[in-house]
Amino acid sequence: MKLTGVELRRISLPLVSPFRTSFGTETTRDALLVRVESTEAEGWGECVAMSGPLYSSEYVDGAIDVLRRFFVPALGAVERLSAIDVAPALAKFHGHRMAKAALETAVLDAELRAEGRPLARELGAVHDRVPCGVSVGIMNSIPELLDAVGGYLDEGYLRIKLKIQPGWDIDPVAAVHERFGDDILLQVDANTAYSVSDARHLARLDPFNLLLIEQPLDEEDILGHAELARSIKTPVCLDESITSARAAAAAITLGACSIINIKPGRVGGYLESVRIHDVCVAHGIPVWCGGMLETGLGRAANVALAALPGFTLPGDTSASSRYYQTDITTPFTLDNGHLPVPTTPGIGIDPLPDHLAAVTTSTEWLPLQVVGSD
C-alpha cells in the first residue's frame, strides 16, 4: 500500500487514581496516537512514551518531533509499503523505538484491515482469551496497599504486581503475603531502583515465594543482573534491559534473567516482540506482556500479542477500568480474570469518536504525495 497521510493526535486522559512508581507519580496519561491513511485503509498505533524522559529516554514531545521530521517522510518515500518494511526504512535513525513502534503498528493495522486479517492471527496467537494481572503502585501506607490488593483480587485479577523501591519493599511484600497467603500469584517490580550491592537486602524477599522480581538494577547492568540472579532465589525478570531479540538472547546467554517482560513499545513494535518471544521459547524462558497505561487501542494489540504460546504468565493487560473511568474505545472488561482476544481485522478495535474528541489536546496532519498524483 501507499501512505497518503499521517495524523499525530495528542490526548490527555485522567487516571482513576495516581499511579506511583520508583521514578515518579502519574495522574494523567499524556499520550500520542498515530493514525495512518493509505490508498487501501486507515490504521491506528499508540505511542507509549511518557510526558517526560523518566521510564526511558523517550518522551511525547520528542516522539512527535522525530515522527514529523524523520520517520513519516521516510515511510512516505516507500512506494510499496507493508508493515515488514517499516523497521528497515527507519533503521538508519538511531533509537526512538516507541515512536517507531507506534508508526509500525498503525501501518500494520491498516494493512491487516485492508486484507481482512486480525492481528492476533497474524502474530501467531493460539488462545482466544488471556489471563490478566494488575500492577499496584507505591502507596502512602501498608493498610492502603492491603485495601487496594484486596479490591483487585475481588475484581478477579489472577496476579498481583507490587511496585517497590528502597524503603518500600520488604514490609509491604510481607504484609501482602501475610494477609493473602500463598494462594495469590505475587511479583514485584523495582523499575531499576536498586544496585547489585543490594543483593543481600533483596534476598530477604526469597521467603515469600514470589513469581519474580522485575528489573531490579539499571537497564544497562546486564552483568550485575547475572550476579544478582546467582545471589537470590527469587527469579529475575528483565524489562527495561530488553530492547530487541538480540538483547534478549544476550541476557539469557549471560544468565541475567530467567523470565522476560515484553513491552512492544519498548522494543520497537509487535514484529520485534514476536522475535523476542521466539528467542525466549527456543531457550525455555517464560515471557509475559507488560503494560504502559495504554488506552484501548494499545491494550487491544497487547492482548493479541499475549495470546502467543510463549506467554505463560499473566501480563499487565488489565481491564480498562484499572486506569480509566472512560476509555477512548469500548472498554475491556474482565471475565473470570481474563480478557478476550480481538478477532476482527487489524488490532480489532476503533476509537469512539466522541470519547476521542473529548480528550484530544492537539492534532497534526502530515500529508504525503501519492505516486502518480499532481
Pick the CATH number of 3-116+350-367 from 3.30.390.10, 3.40.50.970, 3.30.1380.10, 3.30.565.10: 3.30.390.10
Average pLDDT, the chain: 95
Taking alpha carbons only, the member of 229, 225, 170, 168 closest to residue 195 is: 225
Q: Which of 80-84, 96-100, 179-183, 299-303 has the lowest mean pLDDT?
A: 179-183
Chain mean position to CA 206: 27
Q: Does residue 142 register a pLDDT over 90?
A: yes
**pLDDT above 90 coverage of the chain, percent:** 91
> What is the predicted pLDDT for the residue at 370?
52
Q: Which CATH number fits domain 121-340: 3.20.20.120, 3.30.70.980, 1.20.1250.20, 3.40.1410.10?
A: 3.20.20.120
Q: What is the pTM of this model?
A: 0.94
Residues serving a catalytic function are 163, 263
- Grade residue 18 by pLDDT with cuts at 50, 70 and 90: confident
Given this model, what pLDDT does residue 352 score?
A: 97
Place of cell 507488560: 290
| Segments making up each domain of the chain, as ranges | 3-116+350-367, 121-340
Question: Nearest 5°: CA angle at 237, between 203 and 88?
Answer: 155
The identity of residue 334, as a single letter, is: L
**Predicted local distance difference test score (pLDDT) of residue 85:** 96
